């Protein structure tokens, strides 16, 4: 199967962030950079915001890449390093799901 | 002898139309003759006698109704089952411990079978000792297995001895649901006309209303949503209709408002009843209000921990397969959460319908009301989905009038919800679907529902 590139996955995450940002006030909007903190210390998202982002990313992956993934199953939550810290960690985790 | 109050009314109104089944008319005389025929047939040729536990399988029809009355008068214990409930039929027969099966086919012909089983359940024994008719109805159980609720039928029938107005009534609610049987007994005991059909689509219901000049339509909120979506009310003459009653699930304020503007001459009445208690008399604050008075003769109503409790002569004796659901002083715990305002109640929904999102509780109906107000939304169902982060997340399946870009729609709808609802009440997942998943009872199916 063709590899899905990091660029493509990042683009999908950014599209999901666009979706979420439209619902957030100015100071809470999430930057579209790899280093942006998503969850944990310094995060601008609360738990509901995070859950919404995860669902938005899942739906975007489904819509744009035609693949169904679960980002909050046991596997995701039992990762040594949380996939939800930054855009990069999330992108890497999604790549590992899609390309394995 | 248990139906003496019915029989005397039938005798006096022999020429009046009692039933219109699939557009065919039967008089009270026809019904009475058929009732006597089956009373004898059961005892002499079928060996189905007082105390027999009988499954009566069919939908409202001339023979099913005659058999129901004959079985009742012969003091049998009756388990009505709608023909469309086939998927769990055998499980229900096992749970109830059925001794005889009477099935009616599409041509209204009856088939009689003995299962060879003999029930010795304590609750069945109680009814047999009382020499009263019994009625067993099923309601959904918390563990997934249906609950078999056992009534002494004479308790439920008592209220029909009081004469009330009779209207031409459509028997919309189902044959194995107390709402449906309540409609039947109410109309027959007041010598009104009962119109029956197995096609409960909005189009057919509106056709029947026009053709038979139906005055009373007992229904459910979901059916009324479907009716508005189909616009069938605009294609038929519904001027005969005086009252639409609705129960079985919480009504949306938006639907009620829309119904009042579409059918301005119709009175909308909320009913409240449970398989375990029978139907209570209710009085709505006004046509547009979801607040109502509850109770009436023979019913005592109280609220404990925001949950409605009911004590009545028509309460069930218990369940065949679950513990007795009563307080020590004999109140049935309904599980329905209510708000109170003086003598008025507002039904918020089953406590178990609540979705717990990060400790905040949400009733799906409230969110559905908001989503249905949004443009291009034809209908919506809201449910909880397990989520490790917040316990559950809120999901909405939405049916659109016209296609549009899914992600743009999601953002638009979420923004709209944001302007109307607390943050935790905004659905995280919005799916656009072709069809909303209705169960055969016109209730929403609660999918993937779970507690925290």
* Complex confidence, ipTM: 0.87
How many contiguous H segments (helices) and E segments (strands) does chain A have? 4, 0
Short-list B200, B210, B256, B253, CA closest to B233: B210
Pairing of strands B267-270, B77-82: unpaired
As to burial, measured by CB atoms within 10 angstroms (0-12 exposed, 13-18 middle, 19+ buried), residue A80 is: exposed
Q: What's residue B341's pLDDT?
A: 92
Question: How far is B38 from chain A, CA to nearest CA, in Å?
Answer: 59
* Alpha-carbon gap: B423 to the closest alpha carbon of chain A (Å): 8
Q: Does domain B4-157 have CATH number 3.30.565.10?
A: no
- The C-alpha of A95 sits at a distance from chain B's nearest C-alpha, in angstroms, of 22
Domain boundaries, chain B: 4-157, 354-432
A28 reaches B (C-beta below 8 A): no
Share of chain B above pLDDT 70, in %: 91
Mean per-residue pLDDT for B316-337?
90
**pLDDT per residue over B118-171, tens digit each?**
999 999 999 999 999 999 998 765 444 678 999 999 999 988 998 888 899 999
pLDDT greater than 60 at residue B452: no
What is the overall mean pLDDT for chain B? 87
Contact B388 A72 (CB under 8 A): yes
pLDDT over 70 at B50, yes or no: yes
The 3-class SS string of A47-69 reads HHHHHHHHHHHHHHHHHHHCCCC
Nearest-Cα residue of chain A relative to residue B429: A55
Confidence of residue B249 (pLDDT cuts 50, 70, 90): low
What are the structural domain ranges in chain A? Answer: 6-98
> How many whole angstroms separate alpha carbon B19 and alpha carbon B230?
28
A78 close contact with B: CB closer than 8 A: no
Chain B interface test: which of A55, A66, A82 (most B C-beta within 10 Å): A55
* pLDDT score, position B207: 94
Which strands make up the sheet holding B193-196, listed edge to edge? Answer: B24-27, B17-21, B193-196, B168-170, B216-219, B243-246, B267-270
- Residue pair B215/B190 in contact (Cβ under 8 Å)? The answer is no
Angle between helices B28-40 and B62-73 (to 10 degrees): 60
Q: What is the pLDDT of residue B450?
A: 35
Six-digit token string for B84: 């469309």
Which residue from B minimizes the CA distance to A61?
B407
What CATH number should be reported for the domain whose range is B354-432?
3.30.300.30
User: Among B142, B145, B90, which Cα is nearest to B325's?
Assistant: B142
Instruction: Please say if the pLDDT value at position B443 is more than 50.
Output: no
| Exposure string over B230-250, b if 16+ CB within 10 A, otherwise e | eebbeebebeebeebbbbbbb
E strand intervals along B140-289: 147-152, 168-170, 193-196, 216-219, 243-246, 267-270, 272-274, 278-284
Whether the per-residue pLDDT at B282 is higher than 50: the answer is yes
Interface contact A51-B393, CB threshold 8 A: yes
Distance (Å) from the alpha carbon of B398 to chain A's nearest alpha carbon: 15
pLDDT, residue B451, reads 34
Q: Is the pLDDT of residue B305 over 50?
A: yes
Fold of A6-98: 1.10.1200
Q: What is the mean pLDDT of each run of 10 residues along chain A (100 residues)?
A: 86 94 88 86 76 92 91 74 87 92
Residue from B355, B388, B421 whose CB has the most chain A CBs within 10 Å, to mutate: B388
């Amino acid at each position: 199967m063709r590899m899905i590139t990091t660029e493509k996955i990042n683009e999908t995450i950014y599209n999901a962030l666009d979706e979420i940002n439209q619902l957030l006030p100015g100071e809470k909007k999430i930057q579209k950079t790899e280093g942006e903190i998503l969850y944990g210390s310094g995060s601008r998202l609360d738990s509901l915001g995070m859950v919404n982002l995860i669902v938005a990313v899942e739906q975007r992956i489904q819509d744009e890449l035609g693949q169904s993934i679960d980002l909050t199953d046991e596997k995701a939550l039992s990762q040594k390093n949380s996939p939800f810290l930054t855009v990069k960690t999330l992108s890497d985790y999604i790549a590992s799901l899609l390309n394995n | 002898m248990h139906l003496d109050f019915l029989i005397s009314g039938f005798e006096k109104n022999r020429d009046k139309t009692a039933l219109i089944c699939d557009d065919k008319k039967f008089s009270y005389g026809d019904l009475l003759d058929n009732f006597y025929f089956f009373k004898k047939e059961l005892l002499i040729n079928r060996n189905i006698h007082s105390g027999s536990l009988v499954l009566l399988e069919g939908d409202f029809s001339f023979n099913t109704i005659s058999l129901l009355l004959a079985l009742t008068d012969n003091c049998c214990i009756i388990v009505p089952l709608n023909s469309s409930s086939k998927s769990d039929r055998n499980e229900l027969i096992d749970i109830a411990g059925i001794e005889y099966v009477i099935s009616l086919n599409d041509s209204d012909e009856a088939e009689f079978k003995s299962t060879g089983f003999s029930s010795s359940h304590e609750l069945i024994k109680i009814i047999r000792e009382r020499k009263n008719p019994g009625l067993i109805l099923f309601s959904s159980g918390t563990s997934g297995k249906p609950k078999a609720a056992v009534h002494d039928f004479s308790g439920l029938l008592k209220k029909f001895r009081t004469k009330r107005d009779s209207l031409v009534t459509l028997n919309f609610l189902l044959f194995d649901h107390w709402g449906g049987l309540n409609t039947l007994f109410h109309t027959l005991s007041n010598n009104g006309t009962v119109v029956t059909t197995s096609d409960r689509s909005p189009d057919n219901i509106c056709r029947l209303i026009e053709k038979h000049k139906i005055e009373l339509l007992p229904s459910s909120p979901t059916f009324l949503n479907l009716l508005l979506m189909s616009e069938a009310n605009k294609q038929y003459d519904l001027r005969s209709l005086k009252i639409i009653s609705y129960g079985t699930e919480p009504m949306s304020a938006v639907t009620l408002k829309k119904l009042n503007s579409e059918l301005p001459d119709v009175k909308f009445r909320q009913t409240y009843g449970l398989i375990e208690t029978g139907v209570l008399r209710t009085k709505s604050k006004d046509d547009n209000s979801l607040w109502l008075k509850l109770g009436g003769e023979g019913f005592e109503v109280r609220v404990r921990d925001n949950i409605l409790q009911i004590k009545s002569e028509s309460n069930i004796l218990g369940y065949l397969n679950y513990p007795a659901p009563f307080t020590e002083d004999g109140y049935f715990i309904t599980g329905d959460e209510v708000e109170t305002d003086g003598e008025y109640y507002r039904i918020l929904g089953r406590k178990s319908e609540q979705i717990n999102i990060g400790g905040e509780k949400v009733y799906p109906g409230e969110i559905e009301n908001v989503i249905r107000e949004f443009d291009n939304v034809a209908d919506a169902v809201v449910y909880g989905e397990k989520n490790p982060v917040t316990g559950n997340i809120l999901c909405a399946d939405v049916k659109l009038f016209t296609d549009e870009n899914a992600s743009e729609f999601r953002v638009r709808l979420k923004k709209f919800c944001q302007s109307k609802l607390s943050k935790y009440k905004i659905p995280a997942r919005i799916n656009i679907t072709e069809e909303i998943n209705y169960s055969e009872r016109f209730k929403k199916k609660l999918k993937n529902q779970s507690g925290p």
